[in-house]
Structure 1
Amino acid sequence: MRQSGPPADEERPDEALLPEDAAVDLAAERNSAGLDETIESLDRELIGLHEVKTRVREMAALLLVDRMRQRFGVSSSRPNLHMCFTGNPGTGKTTVALRMAELLHRVGYLDRGHLVSVTRDDLVGQYVGHTAPKTKEVLKRAMGGVLFIDEAYYLYRAENERDYGQEAIEILLQVMENQRDDLVVILAGYTDRMEEFFRCNPGMSSRIAHHIEFGDYELDELIAIARLMSDGEGYRLSGEAAEALRERLRGQMVQPRFANARSVRNALERARLRHASRLLECAGRCGVAELTRLEPPDFSP
C-alpha cells in the first residue's frame, strides 16, 4: 500500500459571507488555490491524454465555482466525485489520481489531499474475520484524501463462494455513500473487466459519478515520453537512437503485454545497462557527451 501527497495546509478560517452586490475575482481565486500549478504539473508529467486533462480541468472549475457560490451563501449539494479510471497499463492512471488528490485539497474539497494506493491484497483477508479490519484500516488511512484501488475487479470473484472480497465491497459501499465528504474513491483497471465488475455490483456502479477512459498512446507520444523520461534521468537520445527505439516500440505495440509508458521505461532501463556496458568495453576516455548520450546499439533487441 502506498500513501503520498502534499502536506496538509493549516486550517483556513471561516470566510464571512459576501453581500449580493459584491464580486469575486475568479482569476485571483484560481491563482490563490494553485489550480494552474497542479494542471501544469500534470502537463509536464504526462504526454497527451487531452480528454483526461479536460475532465480534470472541468472538475477543478466546478469545485472552485462552488466555493465562490458558498461565499455568497448560495448552497448546492456537494458533488459526488467517486471515479473510475479505465484503460491499459502505463497510461497514467495513478499519476492523474495523485494530481487529482492534490487538486481536491487545494480547492478545499478534501482536508488532506493524500493518495492511498491499494490492491485487493490490502483489503481482503484470507480467513473469517480478517477482511473487515483490513478494509477499515485502509479506509482510516485514506480519510481526507483519495483511495485508489487498482485492478478493482479482483475484489469480486463470482466463481468462489467462500471468497471474502464481497465483504470488502460492502464496507466500501457504505463509506462511499455515507462519508463522501471525507473520502474520494477511484477504481481503476482494464475497461472490459471494470464493465463486468459493475454489472455484477450495481451498487458500486451507482456510486461512481465519473468514468474516465485512458486511451493507449500513439507512437509519436511514446517517443515524446521516452525523451521526457531520459531527460529526467540525465540522458538524451541521439537522433539515430530515437529511430531505433521507435522501431522497437512499433513492434512491441502490437503485442498483448505492451504496457505503454511502462514499456517505454523498461526499454530505457535496458538501454542504460547496455550504454554502461558499451562504455566500459571501449575502455577509452569519456566526456559528459558520451556519458549521457544513448545510441542505437543501446536499444538493440
Structure 2
Amino acid sequence: MKGFFERNQTLSLVLSMTAASLLTAAALAAVSGGGAAIPRLFTLAMLPRLLGALAMIGGGALATFLAMRLALVSANVAQTANGPAVAPDQLRLLRIVETPAIIRQGRTAQQALDDLDQMIGLAAVKSEINTLIARLQIEARRRAEGMKVTAVSQHMVFTGPPGVGKTVVARAIGDIYRGLGVLKRGHLVETEAKDLIAGYIGQTADKVDKVCQSALDGILFIDEAYSLVSDNASASFGMEAVNTLLKFMEDHRDRVIVIVAGYPGPMQKFLDSNPGLASRFSKTIDFPNYSPQELAHILDLMARSQGFALPQGYEGKIESWVEANSSAKNWGNARSVRNLIEKMREAQAVRLARDPHSSGIDELTPADLDAAIKATEAQVR
C-alpha cells in the first residue's frame, strides 16, 4: 500500500490534503461537542493512529503539519472540559498534542505536564511554563500556516535557593519540548562550574565543548553558574568557559537549550559579566522558598511514597522546625525535608530494634520525629 502511494505522488498529495481537511474539521467538531456532519466518528484519542496513517499516505512532513494545526485544538478541549486552558487563578497547565515524529523515550510531554501539575506550590513557576507552551504552540501554528515566525531565544535563567524544584522543572521542560518538536531528544545534562573548568588555559574550552556536545538536542543545565565568574584565581578559566559556551550556543542555536541556575543576586552578576550572556538568556523564572505549610505537605507525600505513615499532629512540629531553620546557611527546602524523613526512618529502625512490638514497621511515631529533628538541627546550622 505504501509503495502504491509512493509511485503515485499526485494522488498521494490529493488524498493527504483531503484527509488533513477532514481530520481538522472532525477535531473541531469533537472540541465543540457537535458536528452533525461527522457524528461521533472521531475522537481526539484517535489522533495518533490517524496521524500515522496520514504519514504513510502523504509523508511525515504533512502529518507533522497537521499535528501543528491541531496543537491549539487540545488547548480548546481543555478549555471546553475544564475551564480556561491558561487560567492564572487555577494555573491549569495546557493540554498538548505531540508531534508524530518524535523520539519516544521517557515521559510524554503530557505526562511531564501532569507531573508538574502535581508538584506542591510553585504557582508562579507553573504560570511561566504555561506561557512558554502557549507561545510555542502559537509559533507552531504560524509556521504550519506559512506565516512569519520571529526567532526567540529559548535559553533560560532559573533563580532561587536550593531544593525548590529547579532541576525537576528543567527535566520536565526537556520532555515537553521534545513532545512539541522543539528538541529531538529533550534529555537533561546536569553540570556545575567545577565540571567545566580545567587546571590550565586551553583545556577548559575542550572540557566545556565535550559537556555541550553531550547535551545536543536536549537541555544543558548549569547549576550555580555564577561560580564561573567568581572573584578568584580561576576567574580567567571561568571566562574561557563562558566564551566557549556562548560560541556553542550560537553555533547550535536550534539544537540545544541552556538553563543556568542559582541564587538571584549572583546570577545577575553572572549575566552582567559578559555582554553576550544577557542577550541570550532573555527568560528568567524565579523559584521562591517553600512555605512551612508546603514543606509539611511535601514531607507527607515523601513518606507516603516510601510506604510510611506520619504521626498525627506532625504538621505543627514540622512548621515550627522549618521556621526555626529556614534562615540557616545550609537550608535546602525540600532537600532538608528529604533528609529529615531519612533521619525519621533511622530513628524508627533503632527504636524497633530495641522494641520490635512498639509500633508497625510502616508507622513513624512522634518520638521518631523528635529524634529526627534533633539530629538535623546540627546539620542545617
Does the alignment reach a TM-score above 0.5? Answer: yes
CA contact (8 A) 2:175 2:186 kept: yes
Structure 2: distance between partners of 1:28 and 1:296: 47
Pick closer, same or farther for the CA change 1:199–1:18 going to 2, 3 Å.
closer
Please list every run of 5 or more consecutive structure 1 residues that lacks an aligned counterpart in the other structure.
1-9
CA deviations 1:146-177 (Å, max 9, x no partner) are 00000001111344377311111001111223
Matched, 1:292 2:366: no
Q: Which residue of 2 aligns with 1:233?
A: 306
CA deviations 1:124-144 (Å, max 9, x no partner) are 111132111111111110000
Q: Which residue of 2 aligns with 1:7?
A: none
Tell me by how many angstroms 1:206 deviates. 1.6
Alignment identity in percent? 34
Alignment partner of 1:51: what SS? Answer: helix
Structure 2: distance between partners of 1:47 and 1:246: 15
Give the partner amino acid of 1:177: E
Superposition pairs for residues 112-151 of structure 1, below 5 Å? 112-151=185-224
Matched, 1:202 2:275: yes
Pick closer, same or farther for the CA change 1:285–1:236 going to 2, 3 Å.
closer
Pick closer, same or farther for the CA change 1:123–1:254 going to 2, 3 Å.
closer
Give the partner amino acid of 1:198: L
Structure having the higher Rg: 2
Tell me by how many angstroms 1:17 deviates. 9.2
Superposition pairs for residues 167-182 of structure 1, below 5 Å? 167-182=240-255
CA contact (8 A) 2:71 2:96 kept: no
Q: Which residue of 1 aligns with 2:73?
A: 27
Please point out which of 5, 27, 37 is paired with 2:111: 37
Q: Which residue of 2 aligns with 1:14?
A: 61
Give the partner amino acid of 2:162: P
Tell me by how many angstroms 1:18 deviates. 7.1
Pick closer, same or farther for the CA change 1:128–1:31 going to 2, 3 Å.
closer
Tell me by how many angstroms 1:246 deviates. 2.8
Please give the TM-score of this superposition, normalised by the length of structure 2. 0.70
Structure 2: distance between partners of 1:25 and 1:181: 21
Structure 2: distance between partners of 1:257 and 1:16: 51
Structure 2: distance between partners of 1:137 and 1:70: 33
Pick closer, same or farther for the CA change 1:291–1:201 going to 2, 3 Å.
same
Matched, 1:63 2:136: yes
CA contact (8 A) 2:196 2:207 kept: yes
Please give the TM-score of this superposition, normalised by the length of structure 1. 0.87
Structure 1: distance between partners of 2:96 and 2:278: 35
Q: Which residue of 1 aligns with 2:351?
A: 278
CA contact (8 A) 1:91 1:214 kept: yes
Structure 1 residues 28-37 or 147-156, which shifts more? 28-37
Q: Which residue of 1 aligns with 2:126?
A: 53
Give the partner amino acid of 1:88: P
Please point out which of 137, 141, 145 is paired with 1:72: 145
CA contact (8 A) 1:177 1:207 kept: no
Tell me by how many angstroms 1:70 deviates. 1.8
Please point out which of 297, 313, 318 is paired with 1:224: 297
Identify which of structures 1 and 2 has the higher relative contact order when contacts are C-alpha pairs closer than 8 Å and 6+ apart: 1
Structure 2: distance between partners of 1:56 and 1:37: 14
Q: Which residue of 2 aligns with 1:244?
A: 317
Tell me by how many angstroms 1:284 deviates. 2.6
CA deviations 1:71-107 (Å, max 9, x no partner) are 2112302321100001111111000100011111110
CA contact (8 A) 2:352 2:358 kept: no
CA contact (8 A) 1:230 1:236 kept: yes
Aligned residues: 285
Alignment partner of 2:236: what SS? Answer: coil
CA contact (8 A) 2:158 2:284 kept: yes
Pick closer, same or farther for the CA change 1:273–1:162 going to 2, 3 Å.
closer
CA deviations 1:11-58 (Å, max 9, x no partner) are 992127979xxx7472348543254432211122x2100010111111
Please list every run of 5 or more consecutive structure 2 residues that lacks an aligned counterpart in the other structure.
1-51, 76-94, 99-107, 375-381
Give the partner amino acid of 1:13: G
Q: Which residue of 2 aligns with 1:6?
A: none
Pick closer, same or farther for the CA change 1:14–1:39 going to 2, 3 Å.
same
Give the partner amino acid of 2:287: F
Structure 2: distance between partners of 1:35 and 1:58: 15
